[in-house]
Amino acid sequence: TQLLEQSPQFLSIQEGENLTVYCNSSSVFSSLQWYRQEPGEGPVLLVTVVTGGEVKKLKRLTFQFGDARKDSSLHITAAQPGDTGLYLCAGALQGTSYGKLTFGQGTILTVHP
């Protein structure tokens, strides 16, 4: 059983469309992060959220942390082909060491021109 469930696992859309990726858990997280990973490379941090209800924006990307700190979402507006990649959510489970990140299984996003 995945502690962090990401959905959808695959997303194929046209340039200009909007999309949302979800990251859900029954457990509480001290913090939650979103990463993007390209083939042959390690994940690269996009954002960290630490407060329940927090919303962060990074250009066309909007990240939200659930009030209960059990879930998060990533929304991309007007997707571009350059957004194509693997998106991962990860968090530090409350009650475990802060350096131990639990990752979701990832969402593979393909944006067609």
- Site residues (CB under 8 A) for another protein? 4, 6, 30-31, 33, 40-45, 48, 50, 88, 90, 92, 96-106
Q: What are the helix (H) ranges across 1-113?
A: none
Least CB distance from residue 78 to another protein, whole Å?
Answer: 26
Please say which residue, 14 or 30, places its beta carbon nearer to another protein. Answer: 30
Question: What token pair was written down for 49?
Answer: 């959220």
Angle at 101 between CA 95 and CA 106, to 5 degrees: 130
Distance between CA atoms of residues 62 and 95, nearest Å: 27
Question: What token pair was written down for 89?
Answer: 């959510």
Tell me the residue type at 93: L
Least CB distance from residue 58 to another protein, whole Å?
Answer: 14
Specify the residue for token string 């390209």.
38
Please say which residue, 12 or 18, places its beta carbon nearer to another protein. Answer: 12
Please say which residue, 66 or 104, places its beta carbon nearer to another protein. Answer: 104
Least CB distance from residue 56 to another protein, whole Å?
Answer: 13
